[in-house]
Structure 1
Amino acid sequence: MKHLIIYAHPSQQSLNHSIKQSLVNELSVNHEVKVRDLYQLEFNPVLSEQDLQGQRNGQVDPLIQTEQQWITWAECITFIYPTWWAGMPAILKGYIDRVFSYGFAYRYVQGEQQGLLTNKQVVIINTQGKSMAEYEESGMAQAISMTIDRGIMEYCGLTLSDHIYLDRADRADAEQLAHWNLEISERFGLK
């Protein structure tokens, strides 16, 4: 299977980086894997007026075309990122704004919205400081599911295979990390 990992965390010493690297190592044994590290790429997340006009005219910046080619190539897209301020990091949100553009990720036909990224699985792995119980009690878990799982992924036609929440991540030790890596491997069918 062709796996594309879209990764958004600025530190190579982070828990997210460790999780990403472990998944890449395991997937690479039997699958094709490509990583798009948005910070390493210095991806510009700002959707400009020129971007909007280009989308309307079917013209896309060559850097965005490259990202769209990787999305097209992939059979499974995995997003790995921390939850910051109840959402994804700005660089990842900007990636979605610019890359998941009209005519590529979705379109309207006679007033009906159509997702265009069909026949692709998506997995989301995100770390968060609070417990899942706190997220569920406050309604944040439902809000994240609504805005990201449904409002972005399903809207664009992607099939959400899994959304893995790694909670209390700021308190994780080596034993917890090993447990999470095993859980992720199992959920990907690698163990």
Structure 2
Amino acid sequence: MKHLIIFAHPSEQSLNASIKDHLVSSLSGEHEVEIRDLNQMQFNPVLSQEDIAGQRRGEVANDVKVEQKWVRWADCITFVYPIWWVGMPAILKGYIDRVFSYGFAYRYVEGQQQGLLTNKQVVIINTLGKSHQEYQTLGFDKAIALSVDSGIFSYCGLTVNAHLYLDRAERATGERVVGWKAEIETLYAKQ
């Protein structure tokens, strides 16, 4: 299976980086793996007027073409990022804005939206500061599922296999991190 990992955290010493690195090492033996580290790549997240005009003509910038090539290549796309302000980091939101463009990720036919990224799986792995229970009580989990799982990925035709919330990440013990990594390994072993 071809696994594309989209990583959006500025620190290579973060829990997110540790999760990404573990995922890469556990998948690499049996699968093809490509990592797109948006911060390391210095991906430009700004959707410009030039980008919008190009999308309307069916043209995208060269950096976007490269990313779309990787999305096409992948059987499974995993997004690893922290939840900041009940959402994804700006660099990842900009990646979605620019890469998941009209005509590539979705289109409208006779007024009906069609997702174009079918036959691909998505896994989302998020770290968050609050407990998952706090997110549920506040309704944040539903807001994230609606805006990300449904509003982006399902909208584009992708199948969301799992959305993992690694809660209280800033206070995670070594034992807890080991447990999360084992959970991730089990999830991917089922694919």
TM-score by length of structure 1 reads 0.99
Equivalent residue, structure 2, for 1:72: 72
Q: Please state if 1:120 is matched with 2:105.
A: no
**Shift of residue 173, structure 1, vs aligned partner:** 1.8
TM-score by length of structure 2 reads 0.99
* Unmatched tracts of structure 2, length 5 or more: none
State the SS of the aligned residue for 1:40.
Answer: helix
CA distance in 2: counterparts of 1:90 and 1:29, whole angstroms: 32
**Shift of residue 189, structure 1, vs aligned partner:** 1.1
**Shift of residue 14, structure 1, vs aligned partner:** 0.1
CA distance in 2: counterparts of 1:59 and 1:98, whole angstroms: 11
CA distance in 1: counterparts of 2:179 and 2:24, whole angstroms: 17
Equivalent residue, structure 1, for 2:180: 180
CA distance in 1: counterparts of 2:173 and 2:8, whole angstroms: 21
CA RMSD of aligned residues (A): 0.6
* Unmatched tracts of structure 1, length 5 or more: none
* Structure 1 residues 128-180: Cα deviation after superposition (integer angstroms, max 9, x where no partner): 00011100010100000000000000000000000011000010121111111
Equivalent residue, structure 2, for 1:189: 189
Counterpart amino acid of residue 53 in structure 1: A
Equivalent residue, structure 2, for 1:145: 145
Compare 20-29 and 173-182 and name the one that shifted more: 173-182
State the SS of the aligned residue for 2:5.
Answer: strand
**Shift of residue 59, structure 1, vs aligned partner:** 1.0
Q: Please state if 1:9 is matched with 2:30.
A: no
CA distance in 2: counterparts of 1:155 and 1:138, whole angstroms: 25
CA distance in 2: counterparts of 1:11 and 1:177, whole angstroms: 17
CA distance in 2: counterparts of 1:82 and 1:32, whole angstroms: 25
Pairing of 1:1-191 with structure 2 (within 5 A): 1-189=1-189
Percent identity at matched positions?
63
Matched length? 190
- Runs of 4+ in structure 1 deviating by more than 4 angstroms, as ranges, are none
* Structure 1 residues 53-97: Cα deviation after superposition (integer angstroms, max 9, x where no partner): 000001110110000000000000000000000000000000000
State the SS of the aligned residue for 1:94.
Answer: helix
CA distance in 2: counterparts of 1:143 and 1:59, whole angstroms: 32
CA distance in 1: counterparts of 2:5 and 2:40, whole angstroms: 13
CA distance in 2: counterparts of 1:13 and 1:173, whole angstroms: 15
* Structure 1 residues 5-53: Cα deviation after superposition (integer angstroms, max 9, x where no partner): 0000000100000000000000001000000000000000000000000
CA distance in 2: counterparts of 1:188 and 1:85, whole angstroms: 28
